Amino acid sequence: MKEKLISFRMPVKIDKEIEELALQEDSDKSKVMRELLILGVKEKKLEQALKLYSQGKITLWKAARISDISLWKMMEILKEKGILLQYGEKELREDLKALE
């Protein structure tokens, strides 16, 4: 993976928590920060996909693709979060088109 050096301001409390995590994992702070950012991006993408899906703006298939997870995993997450499955003829047509 190609990397880019960036700098940003971070609250001191968060910086100390990252240092503690690095010590607990016997790792370096930069590695822990990269892992946290990757996890945060994945979580944010899932959050956005769930929001768009629950608003009826995207299909289940599209929500799974945005979140970079399988269709089955997305269905499990919807169930866990109590989001109703919205699947009708329109969604079926869109999903079949996406499979082509």
**CA dist., res. 17 & res. 36, Å (int):** 12
Residues 68-95: tens digit of each pLDDT: 999 899 999 999 999 988 777 776 777 7
The whole-chain average pLDDT of the chain stands at: 90
What are the start-end ranges of the H helices in the chain? 12-24, 29-54, 60-67, 71-81, 89-99
**pLDDT exceeds cutoff 80 at 27:** yes
* Residue 98 near residue 61, CB atoms below 8 Å: yes
Kindly compute the dihedral angle of the four CA atoms of residues 47, 52, 53, 56, in this order, to the nearest 10 degrees: 160
Assigned token pair, 12: 């001191």
Q: Name the pTM for this structure.
A: 0.77
pLDDT value at residue 59 = 86
More confident residue, 97 or 53: 53
What token pair was written down for 95? 């999903």
Question: What pLDDT is stored for residue 74 in this prediction?
Answer: 94
